[in-house]
Structure 1
Amino acid sequence: MQTREACSCHRLSFAETINVTDIRGDGNITVSAGSGSTIIITTCSYDVPAPEEDSRALVPVVPKPVGKPQMLNTKTQKSCRKYIDNLAMLTSEGKILKCHSTIAKLMKTKADPDSQVSLRHAASLNAIYEGEFKKANRLLREVSAILPDTRNEAEHRLWWGNLKSVVKMREGNINMGIVFAKEALPLLEAVAPGCMTAWLLLNHALLLTEIAAGQDDDDDRHFLVQRAETDYCHAIEHAENDHSKQMLNSQLRLRVSPYAKIGLALLYLGCGISGDISRLAISDVPLDQIGKAKSVIAALDRDGTVCNSTKFWLMMVKTCLHYRQGSYQQAYELAQEAKVFASEHSFGGFLNYAKNTVDFRKERV
């Protein structure tokens, strides 16, 4: 038995190269948007095998395709997005101490609940990159106490759920990560599509990538790969939908596409993102999947990366590719380079991943 899924993967610049979907034909879907109006969405369709019951429980319904870009409608929203965007830029570049001091100054001057929530969200993201997961969880507990007093509660709750899922993912607790992501996904109906919603979809896809890497059943893994692909596509679509004037630097929007490509490459190579890469030694992936991963990595090399954190993950993806191709010495050397890079940029949250990879590769060189 088969079901039909819609995925707007046509926006990916590398879609034809890696064949993200098996396109069977194009068509138009008419979606009701209320009295007297419709939205026409062009999609591609592919067949997805019906999952087993336990696999189905892992994955919620794929969100609807998005409509036209929407401007933020309040000064508070704009200010909060600006804080998150600017501080995320510092974090992703590895400027952790500068981010700390900037947040501390703003905490003293911006007393309204929305600003306090946004600044704590930024601080928790900073802590995640440092590898300070207890600190990140403490900050998110503080956010929970403030949320009911905010004016923009739905968006704050979506971002809270996203960050909680990321903390759990980086801790290696994938089961709880997927729980927090699933709890936040219904908020996609209440928040205008854009970079905020894109990051939730992206992190949900990364969690599915981790779960897929641990599957021994080929049918279950195939199902999870299909669903992760769809989420990656939707994440890019949501990011592209973000209004260009919503953010000063638009770092959250610009980083979605590279991270989505990195996630796709990890997905095709059968690698997780928790730091446990031992399955590379005992699992196989089809040659066509390795070919897709190579195409995605080539697209990343061609387009370039926008921040130091994506540079690190590109190194790690290439390390996994070298290993899959049997180039163990190259994999070992690149893993060592990534380890040094993570240390130099204060990416403590990534450092263990690099260390584990170096140790794993060292045994096989």
Structure 2
Amino acid sequence: MPVTHAEVYREPGRFAAWPANYGMWSWGDEIVLIFASGHLNTTANGFHAVAPRRPFDTVEARSTDGGLTWNCHAFPGNIPNPYGLSVDEHLAADLATGPAARALPAAPGVDFADGELALMCGRTGLHSGGTSWYYASTDRCRTWQGPYALPELGAAGLAARADWVPLGPREALLLLTSTKSDGQEGRVLCARTRDSGTTFERLSWVGDEPEGFAIMPATVRLDSGRLLSAIRSAGSDPTAAGTRHWIDLYASDDLGGQWSHLGRPVDSTGYGGNPATLTLLPDGRLCLVYGYRDQPYGIRARLSSDGGVTWSAETVLRSDAGCHDLGYPRTVLRADGSVVTAYYYNDSPAGERYIAATVWTP
């Protein structure tokens, strides 16, 4: 299996991270990726070595050669908070997004069948009171419209990341993380728009309310019409040492009206857990990629040739990271049918966090 690693963005003293919170899109060998870049603070006594009183930049990276080389620039869209997009939980409380995120307009209309379309979500916090919105681009991410409001959908708080399933020019599903009944992070809900993204209705919860959390869905629609969603899951105290973290897979055969648990393709994603990407390959197989936060730290993948019922043994794409602070991948297809997986990474606990991409053939 050919594997090539590339550096997307790397700067001394910077903490670049979390592609899964933003998005990645491809048009043949043209690929766009968005991520956050903050300031490194290796003396911080927290899960992430980031400086909470310094602002984050939102960075857009573009490759025109299938992910081998990249050019980076500032995200060309409107951000409600000058201290960063979708980073409230990593900022000091007085720097977090304010009331501006609660007074956003509804979208004037999105054509979900537009081949140039990219959709990205933004959010404030992870718990009760969290507000979410979205952006749309119709020129391969050169310009962005929005932010446009997302409704509360009957939840105490929403923490949206981009997980859209277009159903037609005017209709799409959006899967996103909601708070649980206690106001804490979180569980997954499925919403539908029938009017080009202007309004949304909640269709269903994906799975029962968890004891810990079930968050950050990654969803595909098979040729049969079945929906599959890979969900980052954790035990009763997600932040405690020793808590189990895994990936669950859910299926829906009625366009998101009801969901059933299909299996657990990944039993462990390591300390603190990690979300997965889920990609439908040209030959019909499924490709699941995730960060692994126990030693040996790195990026791993599994494949399924039967619609997610069974999965291959793990493929280790790399295992050379210096600590757990990594992952949050996104995956897209290249023109030749191979894939590009982007993620954040490190070489040592004291080193900068940077964005890398792996080009590989499943």
TM-score w.r.t. the length of structure 1 is: 0.28
Q: Name whichever structure is richer in helix by fraction.
A: 1
Q: Name whichever structure is richer in strand by fraction.
A: 2
TM-score w.r.t. the length of structure 2 is: 0.29
